[in-house]
């Protein structure tokens, strides 16, 4: 893709919340074009779960944009930082991962990331490679480059202090080590979620103190999950997995509240913003769901998923406005119980009869087991021809 540095800057800025700084990025792009040397673009992923989801894909797709412009991606697996546990946004200590959990989760990442990234322009790295070599004396010298007061100014740490909640010393090491990763890799650019901005800026500070040119920092929004409210997370069961089959992926995206779709379009597609905002919400959602599914499964599988969804769901004249029904745990919950709670059935026995009559769908799939259980996370429940509701956990 032969764009000018200014055009590249405009393209890379789409969907970005923080860019520190546009002038620095433009300068780096100009130097790269003049020298023919690609920028080293870094993003780190702690192996906290075996499967990646669309929240991770937001960063991966921005990395792919850099690759399409000719730059080199450093896909960093934080196997060393995973042993600490990222304290970002936490009101309590995060449980560190074991070596076995880290190895198992990291092993699945390679296959998944190359559904988006170009293998020819991607370097997969583990930060244990340099952190174990650094040693205790090196870590002490590294810690001397930052102050405790600066780290305690972080919003999540400050809130814990105000609430007299514990902050463990090892948690202060996390942003320090993440910042040192940028020094070790001589990163030109680092990407992360908005919740990672402090850590990303520590990398700039450390590079400067080591005599390196500071990296440019890009932060991207945190993608909300199927409930349309909380950050997408496997643990919250509100995620769309990169490895989800095409029909599940398409159906889950179609179940996301309309209010979240402009963000999905902006971060996960190349669709013009004006086209999405001008379209009917259901049509816009269908187009977004198709494009995202196509990205991970190809055009043919995405079309099949869409056609199956239309056959099973849309042609039953799903209403434009679907009421939300709040559902509280513990989970999973019997579907028959949810039907009574939502008003779809007068009693558990009637709910089970409706299921046996194949009159009940959950996200377009007909339920046949009267004792079926569900993990409500934004799915659409249909009972008969006219009853629809969206199950939202509270």
Whether the pLDDT of residue 344 is over 80: the answer is: yes
- Does residue 261 have a pLDDT over 70? yes
State the pairing for strand pair 40-45/189-193. Answer: parallel
Whether omega before 332 lies within 30 degrees of 0, making that bond cis, reads yes
What is the reported pLDDT for 165?
84
Q: What is the mean pLDDT of residues 147-174?
A: 80
CATH classification (class only), 324-393: alpha beta
Q: Return the pLDDT at 30.
A: 97
Report the distance separating Cα 262 and Cα 195, nearest Å. Answer: 20
Domain range list for the chain: 5-220, 246-312, 324-393
Task: Look at residue 101 and tell me whether its pLDDT is greater than 90.
Answer: no
Reference 322, options 255, 238, 277, 239; nearest CA is 255
Q: Do the Cβ atoms of 214 and 204 come closer than 8 Å?
A: yes
Q: What is the pTM of this model?
A: 0.76
| 184: nearest Cα among 36, 87, 78 | 78
Share of the chain above pLDDT 70, in %: 93
Angle between helices 261-268 and 54-68 (to 10 degrees): 40
CA 246 to chain centre: 18
CA-based end-to-end distance of the chain: 46
Same fold, 5-220 and 324-393: no
Helix 299-312 vs helix 281-297: angle between axes, to the nearest 10 degrees?
140
**Distance, CA of 346 to CA of 254 (rounded, Å):** 28
Residue showing tokens 């690609």: 38
pLDDT band at 73 (very low <50, low <70, confident <90, very high): very high
CB 242 within 8 A of CB 51: yes
Quick one: what percent of the chain has pLDDT higher than 90? 47
pLDDT in tens, 178-234: 999 999 999 999 999 998 898 899 999 999 999 999 999 999 999 998 888 888 987
Half-sphere CA count of 317, side-chain side, radius 13 A: 4
Q: Cα(165)–Cα(350) distance, rounded to whole angstroms?
A: 49
- Between 158 and 209, the more confident residue is 209
pLDDT at 338 over 50: yes
Q: Prior bond to 21 cis, omega within 30?
A: yes
CA distance 353 to 21: 62
Rg (CA), the chain: 23
pLDDT score recorded for residue 360: 92
What was the pLDDT predicted at 91? 44
Question: What pLDDT score was predicted for residue 375?
Answer: 83
Residue 83 has pLDDT above 80, yes or no: no
Nearest to 322 by CA among 277, 378, 373: 378
CA distances to 224, 250, 258 from 55, rounded to whole Å, are 8, 16, 17
Q: For the segment 302-328, what is each residue's pLDDT rounded down to a tens digit? A: 999 998 888 766 555 566 677 888 888
In the block, which residue shows the tokens 């993990």? 375
Superfamily name and number for 5-220 = HUPs (3.40.50.620)
In the predicted structure, residue 58 carries a pLDDT above the cut 90: yes
- What whole-number distance in Å separates Cα of residue 140 and Cα of residue 145? 9
Above 80 in pLDDT, residue 347? yes
Residue 64 has pLDDT above 90, yes or no: yes
CA dihedral 232, 238, 239, 240 (to 10 degrees): -130
Mean pLDDT, rounded, for 341-368: 89
Average pLDDT over the chain reads 87
């Amino acid at each position: 893709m032969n764009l000018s540095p200014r055009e590249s800057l405009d393209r890379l800025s789409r969907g970005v919340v923080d860019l520190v700084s546009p002038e620095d990025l433009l300068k780096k792009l100009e130097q790269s074009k003049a020298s023919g040397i690609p920028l080293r673009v870094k993003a780190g992923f702690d192996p906290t779960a075996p499967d990646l989801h669309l929240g991770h894909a937001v960063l991966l797709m921005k990395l792919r944009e850099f690759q399409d412009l000719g730059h080199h991606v450093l896909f960093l697996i934080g196997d060393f930082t995973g042993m600490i546990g990222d304290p970002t946004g936490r009101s309590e200590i995060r449980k560190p991962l074991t070596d076995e959990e880290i190895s198992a989760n990291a092993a699945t990442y390679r296959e998944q990331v190359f559904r988006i990234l170009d293998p020819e322009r991607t370097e997969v790295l583990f930060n244990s490679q340099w952190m174990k070599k650094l040693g205790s004396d090196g870590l002490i010298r590294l810690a001397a480059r930052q102050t405790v007061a600066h780290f305690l100014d972080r919003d999540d740490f400050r809130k814990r202090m105000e609430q007299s909640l514990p902050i463990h010393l090892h948690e202060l090491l996390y942003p320090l080590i993440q910042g040192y990763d940028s020094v070790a890799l001589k990163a030109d650019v680092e990407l992360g979620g908005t919740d990672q901005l402090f850590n990303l800026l520590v990398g700039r500070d450390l590079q400067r103190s080591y005599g390196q040119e500071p990296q440019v920092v890009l932060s991207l929004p945190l993608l909300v999950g199927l409930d349309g409210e909380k950050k997408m997370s496997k643990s919250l069961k509100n995620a769309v997995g990169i490895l989800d089959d095409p029909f599940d992926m398409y159906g889950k995206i179609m179940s996301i509240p309309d209010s979240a779709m402009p963000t999905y379009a902006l971060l996960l597609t190349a669709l013009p913003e004006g086209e999405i905002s001008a379209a009917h919400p259901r049509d816009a959602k269908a187009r977004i769901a198709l494009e995202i599914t196509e990205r991970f499964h190809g055009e043919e599988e995405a079309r099949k998923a869409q056609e199956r969804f239309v056959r099973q769901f849309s042609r039953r004249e799903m209403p434009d406005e679907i009421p939300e029904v709040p559902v509280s745990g513990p989970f999973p919950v019997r579907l028959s119980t949810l039907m009574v709670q939502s008003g779809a059935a007068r009693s558990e026995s009637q709910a089970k009869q409706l299921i046996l009559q194949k009159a009940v769908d959950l996200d377009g799939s007909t339920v046949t087991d009267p004792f079926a259980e569900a993990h409500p996370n934004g799915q659409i429940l249909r009972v008969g021809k006219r009853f629809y509701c969206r199950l939202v956990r509270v």
